């Protein structure tokens, strides 16, 4: 049985000895809470990066559940704790099953559990594929802004990979004031390419849209390159393709060969997280035995401790931090609670008396 709660945005723990509340927030409700708020959400992600950089968070390594009988699939656990105004703990549990795409399903599905700071009780479960895509896109838009401030603002964008994440990134760029003279598209799937081009038309995107058969052509014709693929190992091998010094949002983390990164300025969201799990930066560390190729984190750029050069390719490789999911998830919870539309599960917690 469920009912609606129309109270404050803090989780309702009730009086001492009473059962805490537990809310379920659907994907539709999540999308309604986030839609059209791109600028606000990018600001939220920036504030969260700053909190994380200042040490007001706990973000342990992600745990990868892999399957011998399904080697391309995985489910990842991202536990985290965030201070600041959110003051919340939690866990994102997100699966990536690439074979879903051929069956007409999105590759990724996820839930987010929010835990009360004081009692540890979980107080909400949110559909989280939208939250995950939102924080990824907001992070990419934030990086595009900060990493292009020392150069002419990119006017030609290229999307390598045209799935849901690419769509969200374009939406967040457009929603934070970006417009482009040219939009390049490249994907191994003709259906994905057609679908993304249809989205661009329907969204009223500015600039001429060009579908590139060649990855090299896409990269060479773009000042801002977005990698949003499901690649498990590097497939872009030539540093020469980046001789025009673009800004590269390497969101999918495993597209670029070590040689490409070694010829560029490299920024990450978190050093320890990004240099794991055979990401492209991790492969560079394994090859060189050091981390000298890293110029810093995005937070370093925002604080003025590192500056992206204008005479090199600039690559941002974000691992994706659980604290971002918590920040966006708590934002959604607060929006739904303020609207009085939280759906609570009666008696979710049971047998709360220690001795019966």
Q: Are 140 and 249 in contact (CB under 8 A)?
A: yes
In tens digits, the chain (356 residues) has pLDDT values of 444 433 335 665 544 455 679 999 999 999 999 999 999 999 999 999 999 999 999 999 999 999 999 999 999 999 999 999 899 999 999 999 988 988 888 888 999 999 999 999 999 999 999 999 999 999 999 999 999 999 999 999 999 999 999 999 999 999 999 999 999 999 999 999 999 999 999 998 889 999 999 999 999 999 999 999 989 899 999 999 999 999 999 999 999 999 999 999 999 999 999 999 899 999 999 999 999 999 999 999 999 999 999 999 999 999 999 999 999 999 999 999 999 999 999 889 887 777 86
Residues 24-71 pLDDT 10s: 999 999 999 999 999 999 999 999 999 999 999 999 999 999 999 999
Counting Cβ atoms within 10 Å, is residue 195 exposed (0-12), middle (13-18) or buried (19+)?
middle
Please choose, from the candidates 95, 105, 89, the residue with its C-alpha nearest in 3D space to the C-alpha of residue 64.
Answer: 95
Neighbouring-strand partners of residue 126 = 25, 112
Asked if residue 175 is part of any domain, the answer here is yes
> Quick one: 168 and 279 in the same domain?
yes
> Quick one: 147 and 112 in the same domain?
no
d(CA 21, CA 3): 11
Asked if residue 104 is part of any domain, the answer here is yes
> Quick one: 293 and 193 in the same domain?
yes
Asked if residue 354 is part of any domain, the answer here is no
Q: Cα torsion at 289, 309, 238, 140 (round to 10°)? A: 90
Residues 188-237 pLDDT 10s: 999 999 999 999 999 988 899 999 999 999 999 999 999 999 898 999 99
At 45, is the secondary structure helix, strand, or coil? helix
Q: What is the CATH number of the domain that holds 21?
A: 3.30.1780.10
> Quick one: 181 and 92 in the same domain?
no
Asked if residue 287 is part of any domain, the answer here is yes
> Quick one: 137 and 272 in the same domain?
yes
> Quick one: 340 and 214 in the same domain?
no
For 133-177, the DSSP string reads: HHHHHHHHHHHHHHHTTTSPPP-EEEEES-SHHHHHHHHHHHHTT
- The tokens of 229 are what? 């693929």
Q: Are 125 and 26 in contact (CB under 8 A)?
A: no
What is the count of structural domains for the chain? 2
Cβ neighbours of 64 (radius 10 Å)? 12
Q: Which residue range(s) make up the domain with 126?
A: 2-131+322-345
> Quick one: 281 and 302 in the same domain?
yes
> Quick one: 15 and 64 in the same domain?
yes
> Quick one: 115 and 221 in the same domain?
no
> Cα 279 vs. chain centroid, distance in angstroms?
15
Q: What is the CATH number of the domain that holds 295?
A: 3.40.50.720
- The tokens of 65 are what? 């559940």
> Quick one: 116 and 182 in the same domain?
no
> Quick one: 219 and 179 in the same domain?
yes
> Quick one: 72 and 84 in the same domain?
yes
d(CA 318, CA 320): 5
Asked if residue 19 is part of any domain, the answer here is yes
């Amino acid at each position: 049985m469920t009912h609606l709660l129309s109270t404050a945005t803090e989780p309702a723990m009730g009086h001492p000895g009473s059962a805490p509340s537990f809310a379920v927030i659907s994907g539709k409700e999540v999308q309604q809470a986030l839609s059209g708020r791109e600028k606000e959400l990018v600001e939220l992600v920036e504030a969260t990066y700053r909190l994380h950089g200042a040490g007001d968070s706990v973000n342990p390594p992600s745990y990868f559940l892999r399957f011998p009988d399904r080697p391309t699939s995985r489910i990842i656990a991202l536990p985290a704790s965030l201070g600041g105004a959110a003051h919340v703990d939690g866990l994102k549990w997100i699966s990536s099953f690439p074979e879903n795409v051929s069956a007409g399903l999105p590759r990724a599905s996820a839930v987010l559990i929010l835990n009360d700071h004081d009692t540890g009780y979980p107080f909400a479960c949110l559909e989280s594929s939208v939250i995950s895509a939102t924080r990824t896109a907001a992070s990419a838009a934030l990086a595009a802004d900060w990493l292009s401030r020392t150069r002419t603002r990119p006017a030609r964008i290229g999307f390598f990979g045209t799935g849901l994440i690419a769509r969200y990134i374009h939406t967040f760029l457009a929603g934070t004031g970006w417009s482009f003279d040219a939009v390049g598209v490249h994907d191994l799937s003709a259906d994905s390419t057609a679908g993304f081009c249809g989205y661009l038309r329907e969204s009223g995107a500015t600039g001429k849209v060009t579908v590139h058969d060649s990855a090299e052509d896409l990269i060479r014709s773009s000042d801002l390159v977005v990698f949003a693929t499901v690649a498990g190992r590097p497939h872009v091998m030539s540093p020469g393709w980046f001789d025009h010094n673009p800004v590269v949002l390497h969101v999918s983390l495993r597209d670029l060969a070590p040689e490409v990164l070694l010829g560029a300025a490299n920024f990450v969201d978190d050093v320890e997280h990004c240099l794991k799990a055979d990401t492209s930066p991790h492969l560079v560390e394994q090859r060189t035995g050091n981390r000298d190729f890293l110029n810093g984190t995005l937070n370093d750029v925002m604080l003025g401790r590192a500056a992206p050069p204008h005479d090199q390719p600039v690559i941002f490789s974000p691992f994706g931090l659980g604290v971002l999911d918590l920040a966006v998830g708590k934002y959604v919870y607060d929006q739904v609670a303020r609207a009085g539309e939280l759906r609570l599960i009666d008696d979710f917690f049971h047998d709360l008396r220690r001795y019966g």
